[in-house]
Structures are given as C-alpha cells and as structure tokens.
Chain A
Amino acid sequence: SSELTQDPAVSVALGQTVRITCQGDSLRSYYASWYQQKPGQAPVLVIYGKNNRPSGIPDRFSGSSSGNTASLTITGAQAEDEADYYCNSRDSSGNHLYVFGTGTKVTVL
C-alpha cells in the first residue's frame, strides 16, 4: 500500500505533551519527515530522519519510529503549535516516489 494514515485531529492542553502518529508500509523502509502547516501558509519541515530538527525548530519537537509507525511528539505544547501536521516518506510500493500522510489537526487548548 502507498498510504500513510494519520489521526484526523488531536487536542492538547497548553504545556502538555501530544504525540501524532503516522502508519504505513513504506515506513518500514524509509524514515518519515514531518511538516507543520498553519492556515494560509506553506508547510514547514519540523522533523526528518531518525530524529533531526532543522535550524530554528524548537527542541520541543521530536520524532521516533518503530516498525510501520512514525511519531511526532510535541513536549510542552505552545499556542503557536496549533496547526496541521503531515508526515511524508518515499513510497516503497513503487506506485509513487513520495507519499504524504492524511494530516492531523492539532488544537492547543
């Protein structure tokens, strides 16, 4: 399968921890990357590889992976973390080169 499945929405209290998961067969072969998208803006890379953050991304964002599941964790969520989050990886099925997850809307309460 060339799909990456995410929960549609999660909520987190301000300052608490939230984990977003991404499931798909391609994650057994490739690491996921994670993108944050706020309304009306382009996506921004927040995590790539095993657990790497681009310059400028706060260290409250972290990533992990096990089997066919990748996770993005926000430890101590801030109001500005409210956004849509998408995972992405190369596609191991051969149908497409890349596949995006279905997206998760994170609401910070």
Chain B
Amino acid sequence: EVQLVESGGGLVQPGRSLRLSCTASGFTFGDYAMSWVRQAPGKGLEWVGFIRSKAYGGTTEYAASVKGRFTISRDDSKSIAYLQMNSLKTEDTAVYYCTREAERGGTTYYFDYWGQGTLVTVSS
C-alpha cells in the first residue's frame, strides 16, 4: 500500500525557517517525481514545487510565490522528500501536502497519491 506521511509542521515566526519531511512507503520512491501542494485556510489548492527522479536529473521547479525561498530535496535511500522553507511569510500559512506524480504519454500528468498534510502556521 502506497503511503505518504508528512511531518515537521508547526508554528513559526515570520522570517524564520522550517523543514518539512515526506516519508514514503509501499513503492520504489526513487522512480517517481514528487510534488508539494499547499492549501491556505479556507482557500484552494496551490502547487508549490516539484523534484524529478534521479533518472531525470533530480532537478526542481517552483511556483513563483516561493521561488528563491523554498527548496525541495530528496533522499532516495531513506524514501524521504524534503521541503526547506526559508524567509517564511504569514501568507505561507497553509496545510502542506506531499504528492506523488504520475505521467503517461507526455500529455497526462497527475498526482495519484497524497499524504494527509501537515499544518504550517506563520505568525508572530
């Protein structure tokens, strides 16, 4: 059974840093790209960023709202994806979800598994 479990959320002051972890099980983690998606309280879903599998260079992409502040990395030996969040702002307050990307044929991309999410609250 595929499972994604996020951890590391909590209350943090503006300008500080926080690192989230996504621990995966039930599949060969290194074969998949992983994304982070967030949802501010009462709002919709927002894609945050993405890391490709090592087979595709392990490179990353980010939403404009977090580029330069957030960094995604992965440790395939531990089946963990990380989201390092620096210079946090109050508008980063959200539930952060880890997701697994699936792809078919170059025109079909989707997130087939999601974690339960971890809440990050940025407040003084």
Residues 73-124 of B contacting A (Cβ, < 8 Å): 97, 102, 104, 107-112, 114-117
> Looking at the complex, which one of A29, A33, A84, A101 makes contact with B110 (CB distance below 8 Å)?
A33
Number of interface residues of B (CB under 8 A): 23
Instruction: Place the interface of chain A in its size category.
Output: 20 to 34
* Distance (whole angstroms) from the CB of B42 to the closest CB of chain A: 11
Q: Which residues of B contact A88 (CB under 8 A)?
A: 45, 47, 110-111
- Check if B47 sits within 8 Å of A99, measured CB to CB: yes
Residues 74-89 of A contacting B (Cβ, < 8 Å): 84, 86, 88-89
Q: Is B50 an interface residue (CB 8 A)?
A: yes
- Check if A98 sits within 8 Å of B97, measured CB to CB: no
Q: Which residue of B lies closest to A47 (CB)?
A: B110
- Check if A43 sits within 8 Å of B109, measured CB to CB: no
- Check if B50 sits within 8 Å of A43, measured CB to CB: no
CA–CA, A36 and B61, complex, Å: 25
Q: Is A19 an interface residue (CB 8 A)?
A: no
Give residues in B with beta carbon < 8 Å to A: 35, 37, 44-47, 50, 61, 63-64, 97, 102, 104, 107-112, 114-117
Give residues in A with beta carbon < 8 Å to B: 29-31, 33, 35, 37, 42-45, 48-50, 54, 84, 86, 88-90, 95-103
